[in-house]
Amino acid sequence: MSFFKRKGFRRLNHQVTEKIEERLEQQPKHISTDLIENLQQVKNIFTHCEDLVVLHWRYGSEMAHTAFSVYFDSLVQRKMVNYMKASLQDLVPYEVGPGEEVTPDDIISHFEQNIASAHSHRLVKDFDDVIEKITNGHIVIFFNQWDKALAYKAISVETRQVDEPPTEPVIKGPREGTIENLDKNIGLIRGRLKSANFKIEMFTCKGETRTRVAYGYVDGLVDPKVLAEFKQRVKSIPEGDILETSYIEELIEDSTYSPFPQYRYTERPDTAVAALLDGKIIVMVDGTGSILICPSLFVELMQSSEDYYQRAVFASSIRFLRVIALMIALTLPALYIALTTFHPELIPTVLLLAII
């Protein structure tokens, strides 16, 4: 029986998405060799963005060549490296200097041939990539006479430190918890699951938030049919904004109106790894520490994170007691009401007098 069943997805606001696409289509897609034109396009795209910083640079013989860097000051808070100077120093034979021997042709030849550089960079080829890089905390540098740009990752937004999740405390076991940074969360999981079979695939939602979404699985352990159905559902997600993993849950769940949870959540990397080793699929969203585990079984809701660190007999006994406690909680109140309302003669006299 397939765990996933095709259902209708929740309708999102497509008018907002259409306006975004219409506005982006009005902008030139490709970067121009004219630096002034590129600067104007950046200002048009990020109009009324007071935290946008544009720095102008000069380099080369007699400072005849120009460039400019652009970034969001609210995302790049720690400016530890001058990436413009670092880019020029990759081309000159001395450690520190103005780079008087560098020309635009040298820059184009050096970076397009992927020659080793002191800092990791990405080549940006169009303005769609420029928007993505800047809004994700990159410093983008445009050079004159070059139809590409350099992007250096420099995001330094303050985030929560890795700590034990308050909703999943344990006595035995690690005390690490996920945070609101997707890259760090993936690193926490990869640090425990050191296997080439652990696959991570990503996509970016096309709404205003452009949130990164990642899902992972262990190749060889996950059911291929379940994985194929999951990917099909992910591809069918309507265009819109995604802020949290619960958005993904609502869009891919089997029954929208079911009162029972069809997936489970965790903020513990060790619990996520245990689920992966059981053949599950995990979903993570940038900006939230919640990890969605799917598909999920009802009996899995009866287990605790600490069960993995107990002896098998003891952990199984505790889970069995949880199931019994659930049955008692569901049936005992109904049994009490039935006896006291319709069959009071079945209650012993001493107990009945105590109740009354």
Digitized pLDDT (tens) for each residue of the chain, 356 residues in all: 444 444 443 444 444 445 445 554 555 578 988 999 999 999 999 988 888 999 998 887 777 888 999 999 888 866 667 777 666 666 654 333 454 567 778 777 777 776 556 567 888 888 988 988 898 888 999 999 889 998 988 887 777 788 888 888 888 888 899 999 898 999 999 999 988 999 999 998 877 888 899 999 999 999 999 999 999 999 888 877 888 898 898 888 888 788 888 899 999 999 999 999 999 999 999 989 999 999 888 888 888 888 888 888 888 888 899 999 999 999 999 988 888 888 888 878 787 777 76
Degrees, nearest 5: CA angle 320-323-328: 125
Degrees, nearest 5: CA angle 338-342-344: 95
- pTM assigned to the model: 0.73
User: Residue type at 18?
Assistant: E
Residue 161 DSSP label:
P
How is residue 314 written in tokens?
């003891």
26, β-bridge pairs? none
Q: Tell me if 263 sits within 8 A of 253, measured CB to CB.
A: yes
Q: Tell me if 102 sits within 8 A of 67, measured CB to CB.
A: no
Please choose, from the candidates 190, 239, 214, 203, the residue with its C-alpha nearest in 3D space to the C-alpha of residue 290: 214
Supply the pLDDT for residue 77. Answer: 66
User: Residue type at 159?
Assistant: T
Q: Which residues make Cβ contacts (< 8 Å) with residue 280, sequence separation at least 6?
A: 217, 222, 293, 294, 295, 296
Please choose, from the candidates 133, 134, 159, 137, the residue with its C-alpha nearest in 3D space to the C-alpha of residue 76: 137
How is residue 352 written in tokens?
């009945």
Degrees, nearest 5: CA angle 33-35-40: 120
- In the block, residue with structure tokens 């049936």: 331
205, exposed or middle or buried, with CB in 10 Å at 0-12, 13-18, 19+? Answer: buried
Q: Is the N-terminal amide bond of 295 cis, ω within 30° of 0?
A: yes
Q: Tell me if 271 sits within 8 A of 192, measured CB to CB.
A: no
How is residue 163 written in tokens?
């700590």
85 vs 223: CA distance, rounded Å: 51
Q: Tell me if 228 sits within 8 A of 261, measured CB to CB.
A: no
